[in-house]
Amino acid sequence: MKFPRSMRTYCPRCKTHTEHSVSIYKAGKRRAAKLGERRQAVRKKGYGGQKFPLQHNQAKVTKKQSLKLECKECGYILQRKGIRLKKAEVV
Ligand SMILES: [Zn+2]
């Protein structure tokens, strides 16, 4: 699905409709020093291994993709609710 590079929508900080720049949300880089990663490393240490079941047989062929909208007036960033798409692109 194609999305416009900018769209006019409601900004909760400006409390009115303003122009927003559109991009597709991407997960941040995993950092080894962060608490969740350290905790998981402790869990996996020693005998026992994986502490929660990993999903192997995926039923779904798509991933939820959400849009990141940045207000051009105040810089406030909001996200649109994720929808299942095979391909999302900003044109
Ligand atoms: Zn704004």
Which domain CATH number covers 7? Answer: 3.10.450.80
Dist. CA 63 → ligand 1 center (Å): 29
Quick check: 77 pLDDT over 90? yes
Q: For residue 91, is it within any domain?
A: yes
* Structural domain range at position 21: 1-26+62-91
Average pLDDT over residues 28-45: 92
**Residue 22 in domain:** yes
Ramachandran region, residue 21 (left: φ > 0; alpha: ψ -120 to 50; beta: rest): beta
21 part of a folded domain:
yes
Residues 22-37, mean pLDDT to the nearest whole number: 94
CA of 87 to the centre of ligand 1 (A): 28
Measure 47 CA to ligand 1 centroid, in angstroms.
Answer: 52
pLDDT surpasses 90 at 46: no
**What is the reported pLDDT for 53?**
87
Domain membership flag for residue 84: yes
Residue 55 in any domain: the answer is no
pLDDT above 90 (res 20)? yes
Give the percent of the chain with pLDDT over 90: 75
64 or 49, greater pLDDT: 64
2 domain residue, yes or no: yes
- Provide the domain count of the chain: 1
Domain presence at residue 34: no
- Between the CA of 67 and the centroid of ligand 1 the distance, in Å, is 16
pTM: 0.73
Mean pLDDT (whole number) for 20-40: 94
- 68 in a domain, yes or no? yes
Q: What is the distance in A from the centroid of ligand 1 to the CA of 19? A: 8
